[in-house]
A = this chain, B = another copy of it.
Amino acid sequence: MIDKEHITEFLKKLREKIIASFETFEPTHRFQRKPWQHHSGGGGEIGVLRGNIFEKAAVNFSAVSGPNFPMQDGQGPFFATGISLITHMANPHAPTVHMNIRYIETEKKRWFGGGYDLTPMGFSYDEDTQHFHTTAKNTLDTHNPELYPQFSHNAKEYFFIPHWKQERGVGGIFFDHYSTDNPKKDLSMWQDIGNTFLDAILPIYQRRTLQPFSDQDKEIQLWKRGRYVEFNLLYDRGTKFGVQSGGNPEAFLCSLPPLVKW
């Protein structure tokens, strides 16, 4: 059996670790936290950092419940908890990263979902892409060597912008409705994804956030961010969940970039 208390404790701790880690890049800026309550039960906490290195980063926790699951893939009373994270870097050479891990219980089904994916904002480095994917692969391979091929394929499909017929970024891993006959093993795999997220992204940020850039590089980044907004508002399931469940708009929209051009 999956213990909800155990899961939310894990998520809260992991979130604090990520927040502390991001803050080491910022000598003078800190995450601003804002708790919120969900109308049908539970709530969450938004954490937004607007710094010099992280132009904007959101690291949010939520655990909400209600009598009617608002999406197509479940029904009846539900419980949904997760961390949702996104970064928009000041340096255009430093990619945006997105991470989400969530656990959902509905009347008849319970499942894990999540993943992490990387979106260069106009400047893509093979070295970074490779490191990011290798971290994901190594993590998943310890659980089941079939997972990485499947999850990275999912990410390729999911983070795709149909109207531009292009991928949002350089992929990563993504999974949803994950549930085998061994919930303990599922939980352990899912926790490992959360636990290795910082290994996947920190070396990239250590490299790229110090790289010099021009006004023109910045301009390219601002335009590229438009595709990110388009994806998040037109297609993203997390945003849809937020809209359809009457969630807190500050929470489901805080992934939007600080400054964008169209």
Contacts and interface: CB of A to CB of B under 8 A. Distances in A.
A43 interface: no
Contact of A226 (B234, B242, B256): B256
Given A163-B252, A234-B243, A258-B262, 7 more contacts: A162-B243, A163-B249, A163-B253, A230-B233, A230-B253, A256-B262, A260-B260
Interface in A204-233: 226, 229-230, 233
Interface of A: 56, 162-164, 226, 229-230, 233-234, 239, 242-243, 249, 252-254, 256-262
26 contacts: A56-B262, A162-B243, A163-B242, A163-B243, A163-B252, A163-B253, A164-B249, A226-B256, A229-B229, A229-B233, A230-B233, A230-B253, A233-B233, A233-B234, A234-B234, A234-B239, A253-B262, A254-B262, A256-B262, A257-B262, A258-B261, A258-B262, A259-B259, A259-B260, A260-B260, A260-B261
The majority secondary structure among interface residues of chain A is: helix
A149 to B, nearest CB: 30
Contacts of A230: 233, 253
**Which A-B residue pairs are the 6 nearest by beta carbons?**
A233-B233, A256-B262, A163-B249, A260-B260, A233-B234, A259-B261
Contacts of A239: 234
A261 B56 CA distance: 11
Nearest to A243: B163
A181 B260 CA distance: 47
A243 B163 CA distance: 6
Contacts of A249: 163-164
A229 B260 CA distance: 11
Contacts of A256: 226, 262
Contacts of A257: 262
A221 to B, nearest CB: 13
A259 to B, nearest CB: 6
Contacts of A234: 233-234, 239, 243
Contacts of A233: 229-230, 233-234
A162 B247 CA distance: 11
